[in-house]
Amino acid sequence: MKITTPLTDEVIEKLRAGDEVYITGKIYTARDAAHKRLVELLKNNQPLPFDIKGQIIYYVGPTPAKPGEIIGSAGPTTSKRMDPYTPMLLEAGLKGMIGKGERSDYVKDAMVKHKAIYFAAIGGAGALIARTIKSVKVVAYDDLGAEAIRELEVVDFPAFVVNDIYGNDLMLDNISKYRMEE
């Protein structure tokens, strides 16, 4: 399924765990240190450096670009490290996250409550994912280097829905499906 950003509730309601999607539009990058700063801004009733409503945050710290390229390898990082910050960002209007690995139960509950989706990108495919990124600009926290918040313009960024707004979990659902009987 092809989807565009910013995400709407109407689009999110159509997505189910296991769906393959191709994302086009703007997505934002952020990892641990940036998440901590964003949550501090929210706690202090200060504006965020970008409008988070309907947006997707990609958990990535891209490698430096080679000459002639706009970005280096851009593979996902482990999502669980962002879990302590995620519910507050969802409450502020974040609608999607891209990373790898499973999420905590409290994050999955917050996704259901705030109608948000967790997507997985394929770990180890950072160089291929980078090909879907058409432009890059730092929007905040340049001092964090690779972990600065960047706005990426993407075309057909490949991902899978892991957690949907109905409480489905692609990872947990498939553990039992593929478990070997002893």
**H/E/C letters for each residue in the chain?**
CEEECCCCHHHHHHCCCCCEEEEEEEEEECCHHHHHHHHHHHHCCCCCCCCCCCCEEECCCCCCCCCCCCCCCCCCCEHHHHCCCHHHHHHCCCCEEEEECCCCHHHHHHHHHHCCEEEECCCCCHHHHHCCEEEEEEEECHHHHHHCEEEEEEEEEEEEEEECCCCCEHHHHHHHHHCCCC
Among 3, 27, 35, 82, the active-site one is 35
Active site (annotated) includes residue 114: no
* Residues tagged active-site: 35
